[in-house]
Amino acid sequence: MITEQQRIDRKLGIGGSDVPIIMGQSGFMTPVQLWLEKRGELVLDDTQTPQAYWGTMLEDLVRQEFIKRNNVNVEQPGTIIHPKHEYLRGNLDGYIHEQNAVLEIKTCNQFMSHEWGQEGAEIPYRYLLQIAYYCMLTNASKAYCAVLIGGQDYREYVYERNEFLEDEIMEACQSFWKCVQSGEQPLAQYADMKYLYKANTDKTIVMQSEHFEKLKTLRDIKAQRVLLDKTEEITKFVIMDYMKDAEYLSDNDGKIVATWKSNKRGRTFLIKGE
């Protein structure tokens, strides 16, 4: 986790948490949104979520557990800057001097446990990108990732240096920072539209033929969605009316194909495989 000063410093260049975004592996921000933020053209809501707050609170506990289990000394260095590229920087959760190794700490709730394999397995790709970046930044021999899942499941993973991955990260970071400096926009996505263009209430543009076809397609999709939703509702009604008070529906071989279970909100109908 980073301090407020480190948050400000992040605008001076690319940090470790930016790397998954730049490489299209973040579900929270797109490259265009990050590009706008780095250029000072977009201020996103950075209110700390409960998950981020408890992650900060638990970080030192996880660090101490790592120290105890591995019998090592862990330093907490300040901002690390790449020796050749000043815009490449990072804030490590820990550095093990005697091993020249980076320590990255992650905390997540139990619903995210599926991302992580058994202890010692491969690190999930979006986290791997950040960890590989820190090794590239510091020229560390390797990195450890200490993870606390659901507040009680502690695991450790190891990243061994991968030259090809780190070259890919370096190339992506250099390309992105050139866009920040030049003003050239990265490839936009649907999620970026609300950030890229401010509404001009006095402006009207005439539709071209190609956009007329797109608008027609969009209308057709919406109409089909309404029809499908209605068809789904009617079909569910027929099945639920057949089940009545039964919680399970099976095929001729006894395999459960649908459930209609009671809960606090009444009953929830689910088709197996949904």
C-alpha span between 135 and 99 (Å, rounded): 12
**262 bridge partner residues:** 267
The pLDDT score that the predictor gives to residue 3 is: 56
pLDDT tops 90 at residue 51: no
Residue closest to 177 by CA, chosen among 26, 10, 25: 10
The pLDDT score that the predictor gives to residue 260 is: 94
The CATH number of domain 4-188 is 3.90.320.10: yes
Please write the tens of the pLDDT for every residue from 74-117.
Answer: 999 988 999 999 999 999 999 999 999 999 999 988 767 778 88
C-alpha span between 230 and 239 (Å, rounded): 15
User: If you ran DSSP here, which 8-state letter would residue 67 be given?
Assistant: H
Q: Which residues contact 189 (CB under 8 A, 6 or more apart)?
A: 30, 32
Domains in the chain: boundaries: 4-188, 209-271
Instruction: Give the Cα-Cα-Cα angle 259, 263, 269 (nearest 5 degrees).
Output: 30
String of DSSP letters for 178-223: HHHHH-PPPPP-GGGHHHH----TT---PPPHHHHHHHHHHHHHHH
C-alpha span between 156 and 67 (Å, rounded): 12
The pLDDT score that the predictor gives to residue 46 is: 67
C-alpha span between 161 and 147 (Å, rounded): 19
C-alpha span between 107 and 50 (Å, rounded): 12
pLDDT (mean) for 178-200: 93
Handedness of CA 223, 224, 228, 234 (dihedral sign): positive
- pTM of this structure: 0.79
